[in-house]
Structure 1
Amino acid sequence: MATTELVCANRECRIAQGGRCIEGHDDLAKCPYYGKEPEGGDQAEGDDGQETIGAFDGVHLPDALPLESRRADRVLASLPSRVIGVIGVHDSGKTSVIAGLFDLFQVGPVAHAIFAGSSTLHGLEIICHDARVASERDEPHSERTKRGEVRFYHFDMLRDGLLQSVLIADRSGEEYEEVADLAANAAAMFELRRADVITVLVDGRRLASPRDRADVIGTIPLIIQGMVENGAFSRKPNLAIVLTKDDAVQASTRKDQVQRDFRAIVDGIRDAFAIHFGEFCSFVTSASPKDTNVMRGAGLAEMLEFWMKPGAGPQGIRQHHRSGRVFDGLTIEEAERG
């Protein structure tokens, strides 16, 4: 008895190989494609039986996801740039701070800066989505940063007539926590050695918790100490210490204690590590508040203003080598060039 050939007009269907309809029909008579020849017949197949792929006639666009280090270097080379290192343990609000800044730029200028573009737009939209109404979540949420190589979020800004880039380093909070356990874990964090500003995040919600308070107060100085021991701050960057989730602090019965603890953390870091940094400043933020009565992005404009302040820059001592030759005694004479 001859075997009936199984054919389908849907080229994606493999019913001839597996016997199952790709449209999910158990009764093949109900499938609108079954039993029909694919459009174009054999013309769509090459001599070797493989489908011919037409030449792409469009424009290939970059993926616009967070940048790996090589692509970040190209941004640094194209415009005057600021590199921001954000240090925060797991769930301290790092992703919310980045997303909150991007959302503020959707409304208008932030700290006298106008949004002028980004090569990481898709990545920014992804981290913002779960904090928006369109996500249909009951409350704002931020995806946690995955462990692995550092990535960078990119903003171009027009500020005081100058076009500048900002690159915000994004690394898993667990990797920062590991520095508190073993200082050598900071050796690979090259983004901190390049940073113009270091931003240390203090989790306000955990600081308001009697169970977590001591851990927050103790861990942050240990992380900074580990980075200092590995030469992470040789450029003497400016330092911003940021209390996140202030909406949770204000809703807590311990808000006065949290404010005292935060001031103590700021003063302790300044006293212990002042020689390793340029200018110090502290901020209180609510980047992605759970309470709809609290303004989203509170405190971020002031933080961005600080980020854009020029740093002290690395200090060096000019050394003069004397070999005893006459040429070593010659000096450069200024001359007017035509």
Structure 2
Amino acid sequence: MAETELVCANRECRIAQGGRCVEGHDELAKCLYYGKEPEGGDQDEGDDDQEATDPFDGVLLPDALPLDSRRADRVLASLPSRMIGVIGVHDSGKTSVIAGLFDLFQLGSVAHAMFAGSSTLHGLEKICHDARVASERDEPHSERTKRGEVRFYHFDVLRDGLLQSVLIADRSGEEYEEVADLTANATAMFELRRADVITVLVDGRRLASSRDRADVMGAIPLIIQGMVENGAFARKPNLAIVLTKDDAVQASPRKDQVQRDFLAIIDGIRDAFASHFGEFGSFVTSASPKNANVVRGAGLAEMLEFWMKPGAEPQGTRLRHSSGRVFDGLMFEEAKRG
């Protein structure tokens, strides 16, 4: 007599191998699945293979991470735009300034500007996360900008009935520091040549430190000088000088000295480089205070107001070339056409 083949409609049952029902029935006749073939077994496997080879026919959305120079160019071409170059040494608070400004927009208008969208929304959310309660950190923190090619954070704003784009350059602070040692390092800094506003960050916490004070006061003028000597500021941008981490300054017994030092930095830059910039502005900020009693984002609205000010138009220079021929001396004369 031929042996009966053990089959079960439950794909997880291994009764054919071990003789035990996965449902726990001693009498196999009581099992609802025993003796039945699995439904559409071969067909399902074929469908799986077919699905695996089907081309994607959905909509691919952009990653919404910070932009490279090529994608930043497209934003600049699509709307009236403001390019902001932010210069600061390592850990001077650049990422906190960008994140703090984005967080302010989520509470409402900032400097009469309403948030109107962003192509780097995920990137902005990532840099804001560590300063929020949801991160479960003991105190606000900002991720360090990695060395490498410059990236841009973008948002659109509606201000006085005009829709504008704002692009904020994000480059490692160490790369800006290296300009002080070798001016040629500024050559490839696209964000500086195109900038409408240069924002120089002065680290308030380090300025309040007797150990770091001299380095802070000496490094910033050298960085700007290196960029000026290399012709980095082709558009004669406006210049914002920003004291960051004012919460640390206010908690320091040296806060009065810090204020004097900050004014000295402003005056020194203005005296040495006034001809290379348009309008000057100075601001004191607490973008991501570690002290809960200090208002988060203090001073950023005033800074944004300055960012949105129109700068001087780039001035072209008419060059005259002479080959020594008489024709080079001829002038065009307008005449009425009949």
**Residue 56 of structure 1: how far off its partner (Å):** 2.8
What does residue 299 of structure 1 align with? 299
CA 1:331–1:38: 2 relative to 1, 3 Å: farther
What does residue 19 of structure 2 align with? none
Contact 1:169/1:191 (CA < 8 Å) preserved in 2? yes
Listed one character per residue, the Cα deviations across residues 237-283 of structure 1 (whole Å, up to 9, x for unaligned) are 00000000000000000000000000000100111111111111110
What does residue 122 of structure 1 align with? 122
CA 1:133–1:331: 2 relative to 1, 3 Å: farther
Please list, as runs of the form range in 1=range in 2, the aligned pairs for 1:308-319 lying within 5 A after superposition: 308-319=308-319
Contact 1:45/1:51 (CA < 8 Å) preserved in 2? no
What does residue 330 of structure 1 align with? 332
Distance 1:133 1:259 in 2: 31
TM score, norm. by length of structure 1: 0.83
**Residue 45 of structure 1: how far off its partner (Å):** 5.3
What does residue 16 of structure 1 align with? none
**Residue 51 of structure 1: how far off its partner (Å):** 7.5
Percentage of matched positions with identical amino acids: 84
**Residue 53 of structure 1: how far off its partner (Å):** 3.7
Matched, 1:64 2:76: no
CA 1:81–1:330: 2 relative to 1, 3 Å: same
**Could you tell me which amino acid in structure 1 is paired with residue 113 of structure 2?**
A
Residue range with higher mean Cα deviation, 322-331 or 164-173: 322-331
Contact 1:82/1:166 (CA < 8 Å) preserved in 2? yes
**Could you tell me which amino acid in structure 1 is paired with residue 205 of structure 2?**
R
What does residue 287 of structure 2 align with? 287
CA 1:58–1:208: 2 relative to 1, 3 Å: same
Matched, 1:99 2:91: no
CA 1:54–1:41: 2 relative to 1, 3 Å: farther
Please, which runs of 5 or more residues in structure 1 have no aligned partner? Answer: 1-8, 11-28, 30-36
Matched, 1:224 2:224: yes
CA 1:333–1:58: 2 relative to 1, 3 Å: farther
**Residue 319 of structure 1: how far off its partner (Å):** 4.7
Please list, as runs of the form range in 1=range in 2, the aligned pairs for 1:21-170 lying within 5 A after superposition: 41-43=41-43, 52-170=52-170
Distance 1:105 1:39 in 2: 56
Paired residue total: 304
In our comparison, the structure showing a higher alpha carbon Rg is 2
Please, which runs of 5 or more residues in structure 2 have no aligned partner? Answer: 1-10, 13-21, 23-36
CA 1:87–1:40: 2 relative to 1, 3 Å: farther
Distance 1:245 1:89 in 2: 14
Contact 1:132/1:140 (CA < 8 Å) preserved in 2? yes
Please list, as runs of the form range in 1=range in 2, the aligned pairs for 1:196-211 lying within 5 A after superposition: 196-211=196-211
Distance 2:133 2:40 in 1: 46
CA 1:72–1:44: 2 relative to 1, 3 Å: farther
Residue range with higher mean Cα deviation, 177-186 or 142-151: 177-186
**Residue 181 of structure 1: how far off its partner (Å):** 2.0
Q: Secondary structure at the match of 2:106?
A: helix
Distance 2:199 2:282 in 1: 9
CA 1:321–1:172: 2 relative to 1, 3 Å: closer
What does residue 17 of structure 1 align with? none
Listed one character per residue, the Cα deviations across residues 180-230 of structure 1 (whole Å, up to 9, x for unaligned) are 222222121121011010000000000001111111011111111111111
**Residue 234 of structure 1: how far off its partner (Å):** 1.7
**Residue 320 of structure 1: how far off its partner (Å):** 5.8
Listed one character per residue, the Cα deviations across residues 277-329 of structure 1 (whole Å, up to 9, x for unaligned) are 11111100000001111111100011001111111132233356686459953
**Residue 43 of structure 1: how far off its partner (Å):** 4.1
TM score, norm. by length of structure 2: 0.83
Distance 1:189 1:38 in 2: 65
Q: Secondary structure at the match of 2:83?
A: strand
